[in-house]
Amino acid sequence: MSKRDAYTITASRSDGWWALTVSGPGLKRSYHTQVKRLEQAEEMARDLVATMLDVDVSEIDAGFELTVADDEVATELEATLVTRLAATLVKQKAAEATQATAADLARRGYVHRDIGYLLGMSHQAVGKLLNEVERGTAASADDAGTRSQALSSLKDMFDRLAMTHDTEALLKSYLLDAAEGDPMDLKLDRLRALGERLRHRRRRRLTGA
């Protein structure tokens, strides 16, 4: 998995506009621009980076991480995002556990109606789950290497983070499965950026800086 460049966008309110400060690899310093809406921030920042690096915007294959300059707001937003993503992960893990249990009961000779009764679901839903298990057996073997690499990267990161137990537990829950549909490298980039910001903020609180 190749590592993409990552740029930081810091946004602050300014007379009905959002003032953006963009920094990252290849830039000699932080640069400033503005947008009317935050949804326009990444496109504007990408254009700015392309201009500063004197390349076509299509050549900028990088991630852009936006944070709000107000520390109180940023902390509240991050906590909410992590909680929502953790909830998504719990839902997914519950589905995986149900599927695994249904498959195990089927191997033990339980019929679909009995499995459905024990798991509180219809026998038709059980049949669908078991069909998915059958189709997914080969795919899971292919995904094992990618997942192992991702878990290793996460472990290295959390070994370096100095956070409260609750925050660390939430972050550990966050990444691999929570942002559904995101590519693995994007998930890793998002967690690394979030973890780094939380670590930096905690260090500032401890030092009073």
Residue 57 sits in the same domain as residue 83: no
Residue 183 sits in the same domain as residue 81: yes
Q: How does pLDDT run across 128-149, given as a tens digit for each residue?
A: 999 988 887 644 544 444 444 4
Count up the domains in the chain and report the number. Answer: 2
Contact 42, 9 (CB under 8 A): yes
Contact 150, 61 (CB under 8 A): no
Residue 143 sits in the same domain as residue 122: yes
Query: Which CATH number does the domain housing residue 10 bear?
Result: 3.30.2390.10
pTM more than 0.75: no
Q: How many Cα atoms sit within 13 Å of 120 on the Cβ side?
A: 2
Q: How does pLDDT run across 77-117, given as a tens digit for each residue?
A: 777 776 676 666 677 778 888 888 999 999 999 999 999 99
Of the three residues 35, 52, 68, the one that is the final residue of a domain is 68
Q: Which strands sit side by side in the sheet containing 31-35, from one edge to the other?
A: 31-35, 17-23, 5-14, 62-68
Measured between alpha carbons, how far is 51 from 101 in angstroms, rounded to an integer?
55
φ, ψ (nearest 5 deg) of residue 6 = -130, 130
Residue 51 sits in the same domain as residue 76: no
* Phi-psi region at 36: left, alpha or beta (left = phi > 0; alpha = psi -120 to 50): alpha
What CA–CA distances, in Å, run from 134 to 97, 129, 130, 139, 152? 15, 9, 6, 10, 28
Residue 21 sits in the same domain as residue 82: no
Measured between alpha carbons, how far is 41 from 37 in angstroms, rounded to an integer?
7
Residue 87 sits in the same domain as residue 165: yes
Q: How does pLDDT run across 30-61, given as a tens digit for each residue?
A: 999 999 999 999 999 999 999 999 999 999 98
Residue 10 sits in the same domain as residue 106: no
Residue 33 sits in the same domain as residue 116: no
Measured between alpha carbons, how far is 5 from 200 in angstroms, rounded to an integer?
20
Residue 119 has a pLDDT of 93
Measured between alpha carbons, how far is 19 from 62 in angstroms, rounded to an integer?
21
Angle, CA 197 vertex, CA 193 and CA 203 arms, to 5°: 145
Q: How does pLDDT run across 184-204, given as a tens digit for each residue?
A: 455 555 655 665 665 566 566
Contact 195, 171 (CB under 8 A): yes
Residue 201 sits in the same domain as residue 180: yes
Of the three residues 45, 68, 91, the one that is the final residue of a domain is 68
Residue 79 sits in the same domain as residue 63: no
User: Domain limits at 176?
Assistant: 71-207
Radius of gyration of the chain (CA): 22
Residue 80 sits in the same domain as residue 35: no
Q: How many Cα atoms sit within 13 Å of 99 on the Cβ side?
A: 16
Residue 37 sits in the same domain as residue 56: yes
Of the three residues 51, 68, 85, the one that is the final residue of a domain is 68
